[in-house]
A and B are shown apart, each in its own frame.
Chain A
Amino acid sequence: NAGVTQTPKFQVLKTGQSMTLQCAQDMNHNSMYWYRQDPGMGLRLIYYSASEGTTDKGEVPNGYNVSRLNKREFSLRLESAAPSQTSVYFCAGSDRPSYGYTFGSGTRLTVV
């Protein structure tokens, strides 16, 4: 029962490097989301995808891009990492607003 799987779990980047955070779900969710979690800030929405082939900006999209490759996969890309992007990133999936989300276990990213 995998649910929502994120890779990698930990990553250290140098300023200016790029990387892609991967997220895959096997729950047939239509909607997928990327959030970042920072101390005292709660979870803030970066991007979301309401369905395969669509993506929309959330509250804090600057410095990120996303790809909804198919129904299962929703990746988050940092083109030129900055120390301000040091955070814990969560991917989530959902089918309806009344269902809530199923979360992945997170990716802890440090940019030095």
Chain B
Amino acid sequence: AQSVTQLDSQVPVFEEAPVELRCNYSSSVSVYLFWYVQYPNQGLQLLLKYLSGSTLVKGINGFEAEFNKSQTSFHLRKPSVHISDTAEYFCAVSVDSGAGSYQLTFGKGTKLSVIP
């Protein structure tokens, strides 16, 4: 079974500073990796995903993430954050067992607080 660890539960950062939200996963098979964002009192919205190919993936709102197979990591980055980026971010992993049944396993989330 796969698992996901988000290494920081809360990350405060000043506006216009860069940010990195860390995510590590464990799986014995190839995985698909996702980052979701949840704004206050809303559902989850897909930021970006890694399926295969280039290890650097770009998403919405200026976010990007880098897949590192040797370190089993999928860290999320943004070079300059805005107040509007204040939200909770979830890393998730799924595997394709080929049996037609699959689920996303989520990390516990990282709350990003952007300080004016």
Contacts and interface: CB of A to CB of B under 8 A. Distances in A.
B80 interface: no
Contacts, number: 60
Contacts of A40: 9, 108-109
Contacts of A44: 106
B103 A48 contact: yes
B84 interface: no
B12 to A, nearest CB: 17
B81 to A, nearest CB: 22
B73 to A, nearest CB: 18
Given A41-B108, A98-B32, A98-B51, A106 B103 contact: no
A105 interface: yes
Chain A at the B interface: mostly helix, strand, loop or mixed?
loop
What is the size category of the interface that chain B forms with chain A? 20 to 34
Contacts of A43: 44, 90, 106
A75 interface: no
A97 B96 contact: yes
A19 to B, nearest CB: 20
Contacts of A51: 100
A112 B25 CA distance: 37
Contacts of A74: none
Contacts of B43: 90, 103-106
Interface string A74-102: 00000000000000001000001110110
Contacts of B107: 42
Contact of B103 (A33, A41, A103, A105): A33
Q: Which among A42, A45, A51 has the highest number of chain B CB atoms within 10 Å? A: A42
Interface of B: 9, 32, 34, 36, 42-46, 49, 51, 90, 92, 94-96, 100-109
Interface of A: 31, 33, 35, 40-45, 48, 50-51, 56, 58, 90, 96-98, 100-101, 103-106
